[in-house]
């Protein structure tokens, strides 16, 4: 079954190193938590808030060995007033042999406030 795996992380500054390093950390945690392999990933969407423009977060996937053929795309989030600033979001579509409620969505740093309800689904 193709499932969506969500993730989000906030950065401290709109700087290339912070964007790429933080995105890489988020991807690594999403991959590990869901036991993902690149051959089973159909695509990855990266979105950023309007205050992030120093680098493409998709650059981070190219730092992971074996992931160079996974299609990626970047886009800007809708600029909703009062939304969480300096936030990178990921939607990863992959063949996952688990129930939808067992998919591990990863929210790091201040992005945890986007989906506090998902803490209930995390395996300890």
**Candidates 89, 101, 109, 119; catalytic one:** 89
Closest CA to 22 of 79, 94, 106, 104: 106
- Whether 109 is a known active-site residue: answer no
Catalytic residue among 28, 29, 62, 109: 62
Neighbours of 37 (CB within 10 A): 11
- Of 28, 74, 109, 113, the catalytic one is 74
Kindly name the residue from 3, 28, 109, 115 that is annotated as catalytic: 115
Q: Are 92 and 7 in contact (CB under 8 A)?
A: yes
Catalytic residue status for 28? no
Please confirm, yes or no, whether 115 is among the known catalytic residues.
Answer: yes
Distance separating alpha carbons of residues 34 and 96, to the nearest angstrom: 8
Establish whether 74 is a catalytic residue.
Answer: yes
Q: Which of 3, 29, 77, 109 is catalytic?
A: 77
Local structure of 45: helix, strand or coil? strand
Catalytic hit among 6, 68, 109, 113? 6
Q: Which is catalytic among the residues 107, 109, 113, 119?
A: 107
Active site residue 107: yes
3 catalytic residue (yes or no)? no
> What DSSP state is assigned to residue 65?
T
- Residues classed as catalytic: 6, 62, 74, 77, 89, 107, 115
């Amino acid at each position: 079954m193709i499932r969506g795996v969500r993730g989000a992380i906030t950065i401290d500054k709109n700087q290339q190193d912070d964007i790429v390093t933080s995105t890489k950390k988020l991807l690594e945690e999403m991959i590990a938590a869901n036991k993902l392999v690149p051959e089973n990933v159909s695509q990855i969407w990266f979105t950023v808030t309007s205050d992030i423009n120093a680098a493409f977060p998709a650059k981070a996937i190219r730092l992971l060995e074996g992931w160079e053929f996974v299609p990626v795309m970047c886009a800007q989030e809708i600029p909703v007033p009062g939304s969480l600033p300096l936030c990178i979001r990921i939607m990863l579509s992959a063949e996952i042999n688990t129930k939808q409620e067992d998919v591990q969505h990863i929210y790091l740093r201040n992005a945890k406030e986007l989906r506090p309800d998902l803490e209930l689904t995390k395996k300890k």
